[in-house]
A and B are shown apart, each in its own frame.
Chain A
Amino acid sequence: MQMTDVVRTENLSFRFNGVEILSDITFALEKGEFLGIVGPNGSGKTTLIRLLLGLIKPTRGTIALFGRSADAFTQWRKIGYLPQKIAAFNPHFPATVEEIVALGLLGGKSFPRRVARTDRRSIDEAMALLDITSIGNKLIGELSGGQQQRVLIARALVAQPELLILDEPTTALDPEGRERFFGTLRSLNNHKAVTIIMITHDIGTIGQHASKLLYLDKNLIFFGGFDDFCLSRDMTDYFGEHSQHLICHRHNT
């Protein structure tokens, strides 16, 4: 039986203000794969995931999510999203940690969207997973950057998504928090077959966890498994010495 791709793009292109941001990106991910997206600043990494999430429309090409065209896709509950550090994050925002985590459940609800008592367990589990149970009643603005990031990760995980899209998730985390975070991802990926797409500049770490790599620089420079990647010598221009580090520390997932 053929497995349906979780994500499939065909000749995906995006142009803004006359500038080609992405050009002819074609790739597909199956259930349970872990994709690391890397590339220099301005290479279109965040644009690619914004296209996948339907936040912007492609100029050309197609996107399919869970076998359905992105235009017709409605099962947003299946996707957990962690944006890059929220640009306009208001340090005085009056919502509590619990209120923020609960927002991750809205994708699976229809109007009027309400967080029900039966959702309590999911919220508690997500908070326990990220070790933020003790700060559940604190205001989000009272937390450190690392704690805020854990709250947002819990929001992305609370609905138990089948596809997790993460945009530079570890930037605000300390080494211990980062290790714990990757442990959580590994568990989700290995035991629950959650498909993960993660943008990162942390080349050294992504090699330990991702099963596939997508290297982007407006065009798709490389997409494939790490074994193929290791044989590609073109990457050393961008990765430099990290290329070796990445290969040396790779895990087999």
Chain B
Amino acid sequence: MDFLELFSHGFIQRALVAGCFIAALCSALGTFLVLRRLSLIGDGLAHVTFGGVAVGLLFQAYPFYVAVPIVAASALGILKLIDKARLYGDAAIGIVSSLGIAGGILIASVAGGFNVDLFSYLFGNILAISYAEVWTSVLLCLCLIAVITLSYQELLAITFDEESARASGIRTECINRILVLLTALTVVLAMRVVGIMLVSALLIIPAVTALQFARGFRTTIVISCLTGVFSVMAGITISFLLDLPAGATIVMVNFALFLLSFAGARLRGLNASGRPPDRA
């Protein structure tokens, strides 16, 4: 197939547009989550998405619309567990995550077992992205840009030192809620791109790639987004040309970029001081 002909297909255009916006969303949110040591919230919410999709399939409703409120409620539940039950973030995520998976398995069992639909959500099917999902990803991306633009300083303050941010009168609870709700919506959208099993890769890898060499908080967010978007575009193209699963290919491209940035950062450190970079 001609390389340019690839982009003439409507389903590829939808996949690329939605994929790029979702990648930008994941990468920007991932920067905050990674730095706040909440990286696995994406994984946990993805597991809850599995439960939400199972509920949708059980009632023959569009799984996306059923999963959104369930995952959003779970995201707020994680915050409540951290705050009220005074659990560590990873423990709270673990509880909600396992609850989501267990619920999904039970519902799938009641519905008569797993079927092809459920597997397409588990491993992603970016070529089946609907127009509704494209528009939702664009709108969500605009919302996130607005939140980051208007609350950039608050987000930086909270990410660096939440207690001092609260002591300076910043409404940290409100911003935390907005952040996890955006993450919840993004995770549900991202399951179409890479699948429930790999969604956390889109949140984590671009951010840690950017952290290898970015100087400044704003630059980190921008580089993380560019890395995520490039991975999705390259991943979709490679997967289509080589007939590979798109989700897994996107993650592999992401990982390759991480390796490159990691190697670059080590080399730069060696060149500058003759020894590996010491940031402690």
Q: A residues bordering B, Cβ < 8 Å?
A: 53-55, 74, 76-77, 79, 81, 83, 86, 88, 90-96, 99-100, 102-104, 106-107, 109, 111-115, 137, 139-142, 155
Whose C-beta in chain B lies nearest to the C-beta of A84? B163
CA distance A111 to B161 in the complex (A): 19
Residue from A83, A94, A103 whose CB has the most chain B CB atoms within 10 Å: A94
Q: Is the CB of B216 within 8 A of A95?
A: yes
A190 to nearest B CB, angstroms?
Answer: 25
Q: Does B275 contact A (CB under 8 A)?
A: no
A55 CB contact (under 8 Å) in B154, B163, B216, B217: B163
Question: In the complex, which of the residues B161, B169, B211 has the most CB atoms of chain A within 10 Å of its own CB atom?
Answer: B169
Return the contact of B164 from the options A83, A88, A142 (Cβ within 8 A).
Answer: A83
Residues of A with C-beta under 8 A to B152: 114
Q: A83-B164, A94-B211, A106-B157 are in contact. Are A76 and B150 (CB under 8 A)?
A: no
Residues 251-280 (chain B) with a chain A CB within 8 angstroms:
279-280
Q: Is B35's CB within 8 Å of the partner chain A?
A: yes
User: Are A114 and B153 closer than 8 Å at their CB atoms?
Assistant: yes
A54 touches B150 (CB 8 A): no
B10 to chain A, nearest CB (A): 39
Instruction: Give A83 to B168 CA distance when docked, in angstroms.
Output: 12
CA distance A77 to B279 in the complex (A): 32
Interface residues of B (CB under 8 A from A): 35, 37, 149-154, 156-157, 160-161, 163-170, 210-211, 214-217, 219-220, 279-280
The one of A55, A81, A94 that contacts B215, using a Cβ cutoff of 8 Å? A94
Q: How far is the CB of A212 from chain B (nearest CB, A)?
A: 22
The 6 closest A-B pairs by CB, nearest first: A76-B169, A107-B168, A94-B220, A112-B150, A53-B167, A81-B167
Q: By DSSP majority rule, is chain B's interface helix, strand, loop, or mixed?
A: helix
User: Known: A55-B166, A83-B163, A93-B160. Contact between A141 and B279, CB under 8 A?
Assistant: yes
Chain B residues with CB below 8 A from A141, complex form: 279-280
A218 to B160, CA, bound (A): 31
CB neighbours of B156 from chain A (8 A):
95, 99, 103
Q: Nearest chain A CB to B236's CB is how many angstroms away?
A: 29
A113 to B217 CA separation, bound complex (whole angstroms)? 16
Interchain CB contact (< 8 A) of A76 among B163, B167, B210, B217: B167
Interface centre among A95, A104, A109, A141 (most CB of B within 10 A): A95
Cβ–Cβ < 8 Å partners of B169 in chain A: 74, 76, 106-107
Whether B216 pairs with A142 at a CB distance below 8 angstroms is no
Contact A104 B168 (CB under 8 A): yes
Contacts of A94 in B (CB 8 A): 35, 210-211, 214-217, 219-220
Q: Kindly state the separation between the CA atoms of A76 and B157 in the bound complex, as whole angstroms.
A: 15
Q: Which residues does chain B contribute within 8 Å of A104, judged by CB atoms?
A: 168
Q: Mind listing 15 A-B residue pairs with CB under 8 Å?
A: A76-B169, A77-B168, A81-B167, A88-B37, A91-B280, A93-B160, A94-B216, A94-B219, A95-B156, A103-B156, A103-B161, A106-B157, A112-B151, A113-B153, A115-B153
Tell me how far the C-beta of A71 lies from the nearest C-beta in chain B, rounded to whole angstroms.
13
Query: In the assembled complex, how far is the CB of residue A37 from the closest CB belonging to chain B, in whole angstroms?
Result: 16
A106 touches B161 (CB 8 A): no
